[in-house]
Amino acid sequence: MITDTWLHPSLILICGALLLPFFKGMARRTFLILIPVLTFINVWQFSPEGMWGAVNFLDWQLIFGRIDRLSQVFAYIMSLMCIIGTLYGLHVEDDLQHIAAWTYVAGSLGVIYAGDFLVLFLFWEVMAFSSVFLVWFRKRENSLAIGFRYLLVHTAGGLILLAGILLRFKETGGDISFVHLDVTNPSLYTYLIMAGFMLNAAVPPLHSWLPDAYGEATVTGAVFMCAFTTKTAIYALARGLAGMEILVPFGVVMALYGVVYAVLENDCRRLLAWHIISQVGYMVAGVGIGTELAINGACAHAFAHILYKGLLFMGCGSVVHMTGKSKFTELGGLYKKMPLTFVFTLIGGLSISAFPLFSGFVSKSMIIAAGFEKHIYWAGFLLTLASAGTFLHTGLKVPYFIWFGKNNCSQETWDKAADPPWNMQAAMFIASFLCILIGSYTPYLYKMLPNPVEYHPYTAYHLSETMQILLFTALGFFLLLKKLAPEPKISLDLDWFYRFGGRGFLWLAKKPIQFVDSCVGEIYRVVGLGSLMTVSDFWSWFDWHGIDGVVDGIARSVRTLGDTVRRAQNGQMQFNIFWAATIAACLLITYVFS
């Protein structure tokens, strides 16, 4: 059934973004909260499944609203995170940051509700071109370059996705509907569409844009960015490519790769960004496994991840907002100055580490269990290993080296440190409460999942296994504390190879261009400019001396040409004249024998 009477939640956010500059003072703050709340209510009230918001465009019928359980669970948490993120940034006076953030969320919700590939691509690009401003608005020395890199990578991913969509359109006789693709006998367009989705999911080797951009974004912008781009990609993979087996090794590599680089990181927000890659790896692997339990696990983990990762970015962002510092080597001992921020960040760390009674415990384990259930034992064991690394750096390293450990704060940093404004604390409190609610009362989340849930996380085996992993990881952390102490260093990543290759390509490309430009320039200077100067000198003398001075004018012109020849003979232009003459001779020979 297709119904036209439907108000798209993205439309609420976009209209709110356009109207925001007209509100000032208390009315502005009320409006900032009102628009995300209306968006959430609009998402929450649509329970009937079906196709909504059909628009006829050329020969296509575009579907802007496909409502089912899969789209609703993602739309629910993203609209909820929009409320939390806007509340967290309520103190920001720059309207442009809020406009960019709301447009970004609108793009994400547009992808989630898209019923065809054309609508999906439209909102996919809206996400990329709006979120880049959340990096640029940081206005630091590197912000512009990092933002352009982010935009270029996502533009390339969009073009790959568009190529896959066009190939599918041709091979299927004009079908643009966004449905599950054939993953048993994939075509070229299937791989291209998958690659476009995977780039937004930050799958290695095209992943380095994520820690660069999220670590450089504004304090509030990073809270939005960590929640939407990668999880929207997970939704797209789950909708169109569930059961694509090649996604399983990609996801496992992501889970381990992100953990390794997070352990090495010295910047707290970059550490959290690296760990997004690890956690999204679980979801990618779950989509690749493709069973009902695995898809439920991927959706549940995306839901939980948006909350606890947003909470962690809010906690570390509060430190950056109050102190101006984000490196572990410039922080330490702040529990006395920022006690509430410490508690909220600790809750986020326990949630992401899958500690019992916290959200990660009831979501991450579903994916691991699905791997064992499908007899993909290597994936299950490696994902379990990655969970130990998660607790090591996010559950232990982040709280310890910011709030405890050696105090590396300068006097200025120490004096500025304090818990952030009330709105930032309120946003962190809401996210903390939801992290505990999801972990303690599983029906809240499990009832929203797309497939029936027959999974029970609080079994004796699962509890004992989890506690053993966590306790032994904590023991190893404190035994190796000196080895794990952060250092100001640079860790080379896979992007070094294509960055180096890009520089080499530009170097090679410039040489022929410089050579041809030099030759053409000399031809012009010797032939064109010399001739013009000769004629100019002649008419100058002719105008001054009249008919009687023609002889003098000719003599002057001859002397001018003689000076040009002598300069060439003196070696000032020998090299370029030689090559210019060579090119001219080649052209002449080509013309004669053609």
Same domain, 558 and 424: no
Structure tokens at 188: 């070229």
Same domain, 390 and 532: no
Strand order in the sheet with 2-3: 2-3, 50-57, 60-67
Tell me if 444 is assigned to some domain: yes
Residue type, position 337, single letter = K
Same domain, 488 and 524: no
The predicted structure's pLDDT at residue 490: 73
Q: Pairing relation of β-strands 2-3 and 50-57?
A: parallel
Same domain, 436 and 393: yes
Residue type, position 82, single letter = C
Beta strands in 120-214 (DSSP E): none
Q: What residues form DSSP beta bridges with 62?
A: 55
Tell me if 162 is assigned to some domain: no
Same domain, 513 and 547: yes
Tell me if 55 is assigned to some domain: no
Same domain, 569 and 454: no
**Where a domain ends, among 439, 462, 496?**
496
Same domain, 520 and 454: no
Same domain, 418 and 308: yes
Q: What does DSSP assign to residue 340?
A: H
Dihedral sign computed on CA atoms, order 20, 21, 24, 29: positive
**C-alpha to C-alpha distance for 161 and 113, rounded to whole angstroms:** 18
Tell me if 27 is assigned to some domain: no
Tell me if 332 is assigned to some domain: yes
Same domain, 484 and 524: no
Tell me if 200 is assigned to some domain: no
pLDDT tens for 213-238 read: 999 999 999 999 999 999 999 999 99
Same domain, 344 and 408: yes
**Where a domain ends, among 434, 461, 496?**
496
Same domain, 266 and 317: yes
**Where a domain ends, among 439, 473, 496?**
496
pLDDT in tens, the chain (594 residues): 455 566 899 999 999 999 999 999 999 999 999 999 999 999 988 766 777 777 888 778 888 989 999 999 999 999 999 999 999 999 999 999 999 999 999 999 999 999 999 999 999 999 999 999 999 999 888 899 999 999 999 999 999 999 999 999 999 988 889 999 999 899 999 999 999 999 999 998 888 899 999 999 999 999 999 999 999 999 999 999 999 999 999 999 999 999 888 888 888 899 999 989 999 999 999 999 999 999 999 999 999 999 999 999 999 999 999 998 888 888 888 888 999 999 999 999 999 998 999 999 999 999 999 999 999 999 999 999 888 888 887 888 888 889 887 888 888 888 888 999 999 999 999 999 999 999 999 999 999 999 998 899 999 998 998 899 888 888 888 888 877 777 777 777 777 776 666 666 666 666 665 555 566 565 655 555 556 566 565 556 555 555 555 556 555 555 555 565 455 455 444 445 554 555 555 555 544 444
Q: Pairing relation of β-strands 60-67 and 2-3?
A: unpaired
C-alpha distances in angstroms, 88 versus 33, 408, 510? 10, 27, 48
- Residue 223: how many other CB atoms lie within 10 Å: 30
The predicted structure's pLDDT at residue 591: 46
**C-alpha to C-alpha distance for 40 and 272, rounded to whole angstroms:** 27
Q: Is the peptide bond before 36 cis (omega within 30 degrees of 0)?
A: no
Q: Is the CB of residue 477 less than 8 Å from the CB of residue 471? A: no
- How many domains does the chain divide into? 2
* 6 torsion bin: left (phi>0), alpha (psi -120 to 50), beta (else): beta
Q: What residues form DSSP beta bridges with 201?
A: none
Could you list the residue range(s) of the whole structural domain that residue 317 is in?
A: 241-496
Same domain, 480 and 516: no
Dihedral sign computed on CA atoms, order 509, 510, 515, 520: positive
Tell me if 524 is assigned to some domain: yes
Tell me if 57 is assigned to some domain: no
